[in-house]
Chain A
């Protein structure tokens, strides 16, 4: 009769689990309906149904330029971080050199060091270099933050890959560069794509370094949201939030798909 005492316990566990999920999802569940409101101010529950705030987001130059800025920075960050991170992972997993674990620790350090510390450090330096408030400055900052995700994802792929495949490629006449292009890269591609997606997301919703490194003339979407919320509480911000959410969720679903495609 063990089931009899298990039953109430199970209900309790399910309730706790449900509450946790609700707690995690609540902000999202609030913001999405709010973006479809007919009212002029940000309020819950929403009134009526309207797409006007989405229309406003796309037509208002401040919003639309910040969306474009964010896309440019995120795409460039993903590209730079993916190339650098893949090369770093390759060196860290295949290379034999002194201080390898130190380099590994340094590459992964942005995961641990408080972002605001990194942001202040970069701000000081980038102002001096005159790249603060530019696409270049922000891409460099975001690349540093995104690099660990690429290194970890690609590193895992490299570790699970059969090393004999690289030996076989060399044996069959492929020099190291061609061995990488024809054999290693196609096999670790799911890890590279996963790293790229993480890098994109890291930049796409990054706000801390972006606040320091953007200006009124060059703003990314999260910074624009932060600025707008402080001035006007207009439901456009809910529409923007929902858009951010949809993009990120879409990318994460893509990630799940990529992982499934990875050869067993």
Chain B
């Protein structure tokens, strides 16, 4: 039919993305919830949409599921245009935050539901439900009703129900949001295991950055309806493209100042009387113009307190006063004030024989030039 003809040039099988979003946009009245998202999800990939609440990640997921029609743009699943296809014909599985198990059906009946809707033969349903329950290690819980299961068990049943019909795409909307921390961590591993065993393509939504870092192959950082940055966890943590990403993923010390290019390979950041070297690699990645306001991002574990009087080569330094000393078990965290009043933190492994700093002590801190990441500073632009 025409659907075939309308599909643009197809790449070779296997290369084709499992999900393609093009200029996907959603308006609620005059508010723009999703603002022209472009995204390609590879087959078998675990991709997380991460962002603060109201950033558009859940709206994007709901449009992919078909619960909401986009204002404009397109959604393509497995090569076919799904933009206007109703949810029951999309063949994607979804796990909801509140489980959404059918209360009047047993766990096994819940898992059987998508197969019954597809009119599979009884024997096949029985076999596949058993396999799916075994997959989430709840093989003996099939006869229980949802209310007889714990939150974690309910979510595992919901996962089994979402994968039992081998959907082309698995969507998860903050599936661990209602669970306590310990359970959340064990279920993270469970979800990774199940999705790997099935080779499922997963689109996962969370606002928990640790969860995103642990689970995902790639993460799309959402902010105000747009994808701020897309990359692996390491990409985002080590090479944030913006101040927002640096601030959102992990903890950051953000040193604002003015950036000056220095002969092509790197440059300098200036703040009051202090001057820091910007490495060539970081300067090359960012598009900050010479003379512009910018920020240097340094992770707390990349900074350290220098020994008295030392000014080693290849280090940027600053004077600081110790405000607070926090013990984190294996690590120690210092909160320090820079001369202009800004608070920064440094995280170091604790060494048993080392002298620990005291509050009010004046010290010199430093970091390797290549550990300072140059990003534009939209706040002062």
Contact = CB atoms under 8 A, between A and B. Distances in A.
Interface of A: 162, 164-165, 167-176, 178-179, 182-183, 186-187, 263
Interface in B86-122: 86-94, 96, 98, 100, 102-104, 113-114, 117-118
Interface string B21-56: 000000000000000000000000000000000000
A171 B92 contact: yes
Given A162-B100, A186-B104, A187-B103, A172 B114 contact: yes
A72 to B, nearest CB: 33
Nearest to B116: A182
B94 A171 contact: yes
A244 B226 CA distance: 67
Given A164-B98, A167-B67, A173 B88 contact: yes
Contacts of A169: 88, 102, 113
Interface in B185-204: none
B103 A174 contact: no
A18 to B, nearest CB: 41
A123 to B, nearest CB: 44
A186 B147 CA distance: 16
Contacts of B65: 167, 171
When A and B form their complex, which 7 residue pairs have the shortest distance between CB atoms, in order from nearest? Answer: A173-B117, A172-B114, A168-B100, A164-B100, A170-B87, A171-B94, A186-B104
Contacts of A178: 117
B173 to A, nearest CB: 9
B88 A263 contact: no
B170 to A, nearest CB: 11
Contact of B102 (A167, A171, A173, A183): A183
A187 B114 CA distance: 18
Contact of A164 (B89, B96, B104, B113): B96
Interface string B143-154: 000010000000
B165 A173 contact: yes
Interface string B112-142: 0110011000000000000000000000000
Contacts of B17: none
Contacts of B161: 172
6 contacts: A165-B100, A167-B100, A171-B87, A171-B88, A176-B88, A178-B117
Contact of A172 (B67, B86, B104, B117): B117
A173 B88 CA distance: 4
Given A164-B98, A173-B88, 20 more contacts: A164-B100, A167-B94, A168-B94, A168-B96, A169-B88, A169-B113, A171-B65, A171-B66, A171-B67, A171-B94, A172-B113, A173-B114, A173-B165, A174-B113, A178-B117, A179-B88, A182-B113, A183-B102, A187-B102, A187-B104
A173 B104 CA distance: 18
A171 B93 contact: yes
Contacts of B93: 171-172
Contacts of B104: 186-187, 263
Contacts of B162: 171-172
B188 to A, nearest CB: 22
B141 to A, nearest CB: 19
A172 B165 contact: yes
